[in-house]
Amino acid sequence: MSYRKITVDGKDYQYTVNVRRFDAVSRASVGQLRQYQTDCWCGSSFCREGSTVYTKLSVKPTDVAAWIKQQKN
């Protein structure tokens, strides 16, 4: 399993986004719903031409740092 490193308030932590078979914090507890924009010109019947905005749950390092800081309180 590959861990990512993050330093929060001068202390080093390691985390992984996907943990299976272990008690872990859910992505929804740490991440945020964010809007992304994509451009598609493929003309496929399931894809609208032009820009499309969609919402996705994502976890960024800043989200992990904020979650770690919340645990200190």
pLDDT digits (tens, 9 = 90+) for 34-60: 888 776 656 565 665 556 777 888 888
Domain count, the chain: 1
**How far, in Å, CA of 62 to CA of 31, rounded?**
9
SS3 call for 51: strand
pTM for the predicted model, two decimal places: 0.60
Percent of the chain, pLDDT > 90? 3
Report for 4-13, 22-31, 44-53: range of highest mean pLDDT: 4-13
Q: Which two tokens stand for residue 25?
A: 């914090």
Write down the pLDDT at residue 54. Answer: 77
**Structural domain that includes position 48:** 4-72
Write down the pLDDT at residue 10. Answer: 92
Question: How far is CA 31 from its chain centroid?
Answer: 5
Write down the pLDDT at residue 19. Answer: 45
